Amino acid sequence: MTKYTPMIEQYLKIKAQHKDSFLFFRLGDFYELFFDDAVKAARELEITLTSRDGGGKERIPMCGVPHHSATNYIKNLVEKGYKVAICEQVEDPKEAKGVVKREVVQLITPGTVMDGVMLDEKENNYLASLANFDEDTYSIVYIDLSTGETSGALVTTGWAQVLNELYNRPVKEVIISPQLPELKRQSLIDRLNITISYGEQTELKASYDHLVERIDSKQIITGFSQLISYLEMTQKRALDHIKPLKVIELHQYLGLDMYSKRNLELTETIIKKTKKGSLLWVLDQTVTAMGARKLKSFLERPLLNQSAIEKRYQFVDGLMADYIQREELREHLKSIYDLERLCGRVAFGNVNARDLLQLKISLTKVPAIKEVLAKFSEIEIVNLSQALDPITDLKLLLEKSLADDPPLTIKEGNIIRDGFNEELDKYRDASRNGKQWIAELENQEKEATGIKSLKIGYNRIFGYYIEVTKANLHLLPEGKYERKQTLSNAERFITPELKEKENLILSAEEKSIELEYQLFLKLREQVLEYIPRLQKLADQISQLDVFQSFATISEQQGYCRPQLTTDGKVEIIKGRHPVVEKVMNDTTYVPNDVYLDQDNQILLITGPNMSGKSTYMRQVALIVIMAQIGCFVPADKAVLPIFDKIFTRIGASDDLVGGQSTFMVEMLEAKHALTYATKNSLILLDEIGRGTSTYDGMAIAQAIMEYVHDHIGAKTLFSTHYHELTSLSEQLTRLKNVHVRAEEFEGRVVFLHQIRKGPADKSYGIHVAKLAELPDVLIERANVILEQLEQNKQSEINTSQSDQLSFFVNEAVEQERPIEQSAVEKKLKSINIMELTPIEALNELYRLQQLLNKED
């Protein structure tokens, strides 16, 4: 084996314990990386790759980053999904015998980032722990380490729901058991683009029992213990800021699967993956980082509890009622710093004096916020004013202890205010007034000795001294002066008093800085005791910020307060799409009405492309979501039930990661909706069936609508280009036709974006192609082909429209046939179509085709 130097041997030993991480190995003022780490880091960080002698036959690849600027390099790696192990010198090099002792003091991973530079202030940074118990049962526990927020949920409906739940939050890293099957591990990476870490399901330590004392689920506690074990192993420090675990009862929140969240663009757009253009972008009028994160959490989990929703409406109503006080409140809130993450840094031990100054400034604003809230007429707002804890004792402590403008680091002094500590004042006085003391002592010595030329000087070798010319030596009293140095024409002396002053002056600054550091650490420990109160205050402030955000956008855009009903009726008068409306600015948005009830369960929407069918469908879903997070909605009037789930199939993009075609994605999303929807759900299906041939598509679309109508009863909006389907309103009593108006003008189509009763008269597909400026010769040829197709249509289709759509039961099956039936005919006759879901129908069709091929 290769024989390396002791230092490289030390590196390899530590690296062996952190194989999945970049090891930042501290050497003096640099973090160095060696071997494969160096090659990979040089590429990822775009830094120079060098080499060094490590004792072996070949030179070792090496690269490094300065210690003082390492944060940005670490951030770069972590954002790419890597882990970084920080290996520090834990021994004074002067006292080391051989190689300086080094240890990994922290493992920084995508889910355990604490440094503010690496965090988006408006985004939570979740680490999740996934524990599996059987094929259908999993517990998921979340923590945002930067704020201490923890929550857990129990999933009992299988792996698909696990993926949906993890997708619902900004999870950067998930801890799993090594026993989780490889296929599921890979789906976490492929579907969620998430960093995988491994942990063991250990028993929870007694010191954390208070965090789960109200939790009944043993599965969730198991997931929590796996999470805590991982944090202790990687962070190697106190976790005092972690809040008690909250259980997320999934059935108490509106169900939104990953498809629906993506299709509706709740927090980011589908194409650009940016906040701008999403519902969050419209609603975010928050002025604090805590409020922005709270708003996003509201969007992640809309409520099902009517009284809780109505309580939020009361806040918004009360804030809207008084514009002047609301604006005053917004101004005060702007001065509130991120209390949640300040608490995290205090507990983690990486808080600095500037952070505590921000905490002090924030606390000074709380009394003013209480005063403003007390002036509102809404009783819920007044109650919040009384509930806010200004934490006056902590504010006074910080005012008394902290300097007005402390430095960023905590080891260079000037942190603690004068008058806070008597010993520190003494050191500072010595440091600041040393020269004055020396001048006064010089005058005292001149008067005592009568030597006018006596002077006190200083040099680095001898320190302070009293210099007397040789002609005046006889004037010095006996025993007081101690000779220090002899010059050609003078002697230099010291006295006990001068020595005392010298020690005080020279050590004052060093002792002052060290004492300040110790005082700051003690102050930080004192602040630690206030974390529970600070976290409660942060939660109240963040919710208040969200409510004022709702009130502000509702007033700006003319939103109305929804009326929640229990009879299932949906009545939206002049509803608008909140995002499209904001993007259009001053351009007039065309509003539309929606009416659904027990007799109007399904709206079949026809109309040309680009006319606004998808926008109309999306706006209904967004209005429902806004209503159930407690915000007012873009409409003149909105009467809404509380929906339990929303399912969408809008847009057609191939799932390249999963290796699935557009049509298969359509079918999978449709299957998900048909499997889990209830009569209290909302289903939005846009152009289902267009990914396959015309007759296949129509058959599937009709079968889906029949299934929803007859077996589920959910409120459904279904858009289609298959005009033949509009006749279904004659068969399905609760299905109504509506269309988006469009008119021809001088050979061109004009979209009016108005929803009207009844089916569309034509599709205008060629007109849309003309709008897209396809070549004129192509447009002319398309018109000729369309005319021929329309002329031949009737002669080619001898069966009725309903027979044509009944793809799986053709009348030919019932016509005269040979006495000996084929296997295909027997199988076809045995199938009960009304009990098949669309995806099952496809599977049966495939099996029939295979059977027919065998007969041939």
Give the 3-state DSSP-derived string for 602-664, with helices as H, strands as E and coil as C. Answer: EEEEECCCCCCHHHHHHHHHHHHHHHHCCCCECCCEEEECCCCEEEEECCCCCECCCCECHHH
Residue 762 predicted with pLDDT over 70: no
**Helix H or strand E encompassing 717:** strand 715-719
Residue 750 predicted with pLDDT over 90: no
Instruction: Express each pLDDT in 269-312 by its tens digit.
Output: 988 889 999 999 999 999 999 999 999 999 999 999 999 999 99
- The confidence score (pLDDT) of residue 835 equals 61
- The confidence score (pLDDT) of residue 807 equals 39
Least confident of 204-208, 526-530, 807-811: 807-811
For residue 646, what are the β-bridge partners?
Answer: 256, 682
Lay out the sheet containing 455-459: strands in order across: 455-459, 463-469, 490-494, 482-486
Determine whether the annotation assigns residue 318 to a binding site: no
For residue 756, what are the β-bridge partners?
Answer: 739
Alpha carbons 54 and 442: distance in angstroms, whole number: 60
Q: What angle do CA 85, 89, 95 make, to 5 degrees?
A: 165
Most trustworthy range by pLDDT among 256-265, 373-382, 477-486, 802-811: 373-382
Token digits of residue 60: 């070792």
pLDDT-based confidence at residue 659 (cuts at 50, 70, 90): very low
Instruction: Express each pLDDT in 12-62 by its tens digit.
Output: 999 999 999 999 999 999 999 999 999 999 999 999 999 999 887 889 999
- The confidence score (pLDDT) of residue 435 equals 75
- The confidence score (pLDDT) of residue 818 equals 44
Pick one of 3.40.50.1980, 3.40.50.300, 3.20.20.10, 1.10.1420.10 as the CATH number of 284-391+530-557: 1.10.1420.10
Between residues 202 and 476, the one the model is more confident about: 476
Q: What is the CATH number of domain 119-252?
A: 3.30.420.110
- The confidence score (pLDDT) of residue 691 equals 66
User: Phi and psi dihedrals of 826, rounded to 5?
Assistant: -60, -45
- The confidence score (pLDDT) of residue 404 equals 92
DSSP state letters, 170-190:
TEEEEEE-TTS-HHHHHHHHH
pLDDT-based confidence at residue 550 (cuts at 50, 70, 90): very high
Determine whether the annotation assigns residue 680 to a binding site: no
- The confidence score (pLDDT) of residue 330 equals 97
Which ranges of 656-713 would DSSP assign to H, the alpha helix? 662-676, 694-707
Determine whether the annotation assigns residue 614 to a binding site: yes
pLDDT-based confidence at residue 834 (cuts at 50, 70, 90): low
Q: Name the average pLDDT for the chain.
A: 88
Q: What is the CATH number of domain 422-523?
A: 1.10.1420.10
Residue 812 predicted with pLDDT over 60: no
Between residues 93 and 568, the one the model is more confident about: 568
- The confidence score (pLDDT) of residue 799 equals 44
Determine whether the annotation assigns residue 608 to a binding site: yes
Region(s) of the chain under CATH 1.10.1420.10: 284-391+530-557, 422-523
- The confidence score (pLDDT) of residue 817 equals 42
Q: If you average pLDDT over residues 520-524, what whole number do you get?
A: 95
Alpha carbons 765 and 782: distance in angstroms, whole number: 10
Determine whether the annotation assigns residue 626 to a binding site: no
Between residues 855 and 816, the one the model is more confident about: 855
Alpha carbons 436 and 440: distance in angstroms, whole number: 6
Least confident of 253-262, 711-720, 807-816, 825-834: 807-816
Return the percentage of the chain with pLDDT > 90, whole number.
Answer: 65
Question: pTM (2 decimals)?
Answer: 0.83
- The confidence score (pLDDT) of residue 54 equals 87
Alpha carbons 510 and 493: distance in angstroms, whole number: 26
pLDDT-based confidence at residue 821 (cuts at 50, 70, 90): low
Token digits of residue 35: 């071997």
Residue 672 predicted with pLDDT over 80: yes
pLDDT-based confidence at residue 584 (cuts at 50, 70, 90): confident
- The confidence score (pLDDT) of residue 468 equals 94
Residue 800 predicted with pLDDT over 50: no
Note whether 362 and 339 are within 8 A (CB). Answer: yes
Alpha carbons 15 and 54: distance in angstroms, whole number: 15
- The confidence score (pLDDT) of residue 109 equals 96
Q: If you average pLDDT over residues 533-551, what whole number do you get?
A: 97
Alpha carbons 221 and 216: distance in angstroms, whole number: 8
Between residues 846 and 543, the one the model is more confident about: 543
Question: Which residue, among 372, 297, 298, 301, has the nearest Cα to 334 in the 3D structure?
Answer: 372
Least confident of 118-132, 279-293, 420-434, 745-759: 745-759
Alpha carbons 571 and 687: distance in angstroms, whole number: 24
How far is CA 439 from each of CA 122, 430, 497, rounded to the nearest angstrom? 57, 13, 13
Determine whether the annotation assigns residue 611 to a binding site: yes
pLDDT-based confidence at residue 652 (cuts at 50, 70, 90): very low
Residue 786 predicted with pLDDT over 90: no
Instruction: Express each pLDDT in 175-193 by its tens digit.
Output: 999 999 999 999 999 889 8
User: Phi and psi dihedrals of 561, rounded to 5?
Assistant: -75, 125
Instruction: Express each pLDDT in 402-421 by its tens digit.
Output: 999 999 888 888 999 999 99
- The confidence score (pLDDT) of residue 372 equals 97
- The confidence score (pLDDT) of residue 413 equals 87
Least confident of 18-27, 256-265, 486-495, 837-846: 837-846
**Cβ-count burial of 8 within 10 angstroms (0-12 exposed, 13-18 middle, 19+ buried)?**
buried
Residue 658 predicted with pLDDT over 90: no
Region(s) of the chain under CATH 3.40.1170.10: 6-108
Determine whether the annotation assigns residue 609 to a binding site: yes
6-108 has which fold? MutS, DNA mismatch repair protein, domain I (3.40.1170)
**What is the CATH architecture of 563-794?**
3-Layer(aba) Sandwich (3.40)
Determine whether the annotation assigns residue 401 to a binding site: no
Residue 811 predicted with pLDDT over 50: no
Q: If you average pLDDT over residues 140-156, what whole number do you get?
A: 96
Least confident of 331-345, 574-588, 661-675: 661-675
